[in-house]
Structure 1
């Protein structure tokens, strides 16, 4: 089994390192990394990892900046990732950390590390233990922040 990691050199934190570390800790899949310049390059990178490199799941890692144009680019990249999923019938786990989600560089690094690690755990569940995701349905899981928790019952 192969898991693809598509990341960018625009990011201010090496999210791929965090993803690879967590994936290696939790599964025995071969991990293939493909680094591109920015978030709008992630959809084709993910598609290449799936179609040409044989990955059964891809994590797309990006760190959009805080400006309105960065938000637009992140939205376009996200739309492209959804299209790539539909074109390949393969999960692409989008892991974006926006620079304005944190108040300091230390907090931004911590958020990037935690969100990436938690999404890597989700990737492992999708591939190896889907029943665990089903058990977590409706529990308000949040990657990178404290979980929101369940409402209503």
Structure 2
């Protein structure tokens, strides 16, 4: 198994290094890293990791800014990642942390690390232990902040 990690220089946290650290904690897999300037570069990076470097799954990590233009760019990048998944029939786990999700730099760094680590676990589950995800269905899992939990009647 091979996991691709693509990240950006625009991010204010080294999310790629965090992802690789967490992946290594949960699985013995090969890892390919591809760093690009910004989130709109992630779809082609993910597609290249799949097609050229033969990755079985990819994590796409980015940190869009908090202004409207950045949110639009993040949406466009997200659409590109979805298209790349459909074109390659391969999961690409989008891990975006928007700068305006946090109150300050400390919380931003904490959130980026926590969300990245939790999604790295999800990537491992998807390719190595998919039954674990079935057991988690409907439990209100959230990556980053606290889980929502299941809805109650």
Shorter-chain TM-score tier: over 0.9
Provide the rounded CA distance (Å) in 1 between the counterparts of 2:30 and 2:43.
Answer: 21
Kindly indicate whether residue 7 of structure 2 is the aligned counterpart of residue 7 of structure 1.
yes
Q: What's 1:50 paired with?
A: 50
Displacement after TM superposition at 1:114 (Å): 0.1
Displacement after TM superposition at 1:152 (Å): 2.7
Provide the TM-score with structure 2 as the length reference: 0.99
Provide, for residues 56-79 of structure 1, a one-character-per-residue CA deviation record: whole Å limited to 9, x for no partner: 000000000000000000000000
The secondary structure found in structure 2 opposite 1:106 is helix
- Which structure 1 segments of 5+ residues have no match? none
Provide the rounded CA distance (Å) in 2 between the counterparts of 1:152 and 1:144.
Answer: 22
Kindly indicate whether residue 125 of structure 2 is the aligned counterpart of residue 152 of structure 1.
no
Residues 53-68 of structure 1 mapped to structure 2, 5 A cutoff: 53-68=53-68
Task: Please tell me the root mean square deviation across aligned C-alpha atoms, in Å.
Answer: 0.6
Provide, for residues 10-47 of structure 1, a one-character-per-residue CA deviation record: whole Å limited to 9, x for no partner: 00000011100000010011000000000000000000
The secondary structure found in structure 2 opposite 1:116 is helix
- Which structure 2 segments of 5+ residues have no match? none
Provide the rounded CA distance (Å) in 2 between the counterparts of 1:107 and 1:23.
Answer: 23
The secondary structure found in structure 2 opposite 1:31 is strand
Q: What's 1:132 paired with?
A: 132
Displacement after TM superposition at 1:101 (Å): 0.2
Provide the rounded CA distance (Å) in 2 between the counterparts of 1:99 and 1:151.
Answer: 29
Instruction: Report the count of equivalent residues.
Output: 153
